[in-house]
Amino acid sequence: MRGLQEKLRALVRSGAGCGPFYAAVVAPDGEVVAEAANSVVSGNCSHDHAEMNAIRLAEARLGTWNLAGRGLVLYATAEPCMMCVGGILWSGISRVVYGVGTEAVERIAGFDEGFKPAWREEFAKRGIEVAGPVLPELGESVLEEYVARSGVIYKPR
């Protein structure tokens, strides 16, 4: 998680135009199947969250819409929003590890993360493990840096 958040910090500082989130799909042997930053603003698509981008890329690389049965873990800067929770359900990801909780994301960046009551229990029912927050202060500091640099808060208004 430390490496992932530091990679994101470097991207945010680079001015490449990504949102303040990063995600990676990792195999049980540690191989990174796919990784991606949020590209909502740079790509003109409100759905291009880091988690969605990483899963899409993993599926493209593996040539399947079905990631189940491979023990794949999704690491992400922050607790997934409602869209990404749904996207994880459809993908077959086995485990989710995240850095920053939704409360902190909404407080720091002002995003509306949707509504996903009891999502951990719902994931457990479906056999998907969840761990987090992991090193939350580190992830929060990257979010704060993004906001301080006047990064776009892409809320539809």
CA distances from 147 to 12, 99, 151 (A): 10, 17, 5
Chain residues 51-90 in contact with its own copies, contact rule CB under 8 A: 52, 55-56, 59-60, 63-69, 81-87, 89-90
Task: Report residue 83: phi and psi, to 5°.
Answer: -60, -45
State the Cα–Cα distance between residues 69 and 153, nearest whole angstrom.
36
Task: Report residue 121: phi and psi, to 5°.
Answer: -65, -40
User: x/- contact string, 84-123, with its own copies (CB under 8 A)?
Assistant: xxxx-xxxx-------------------x-xxxxxx--x-
User: How far, rounded to the nearest angstrom, does the alpha carbon of residue 35 sit from its chain's CA centroid?
Assistant: 10
Min separation Cβ 14 and its own copies, Å: 20
Nearer to its own copies, 27 or 135 (CB): 27
Nearer to its own copies, 70 or 141 (CB): 70
User: x/- contact string, 25-44, with its own copies (CB under 8 A)?
Assistant: ---------------xx-xx
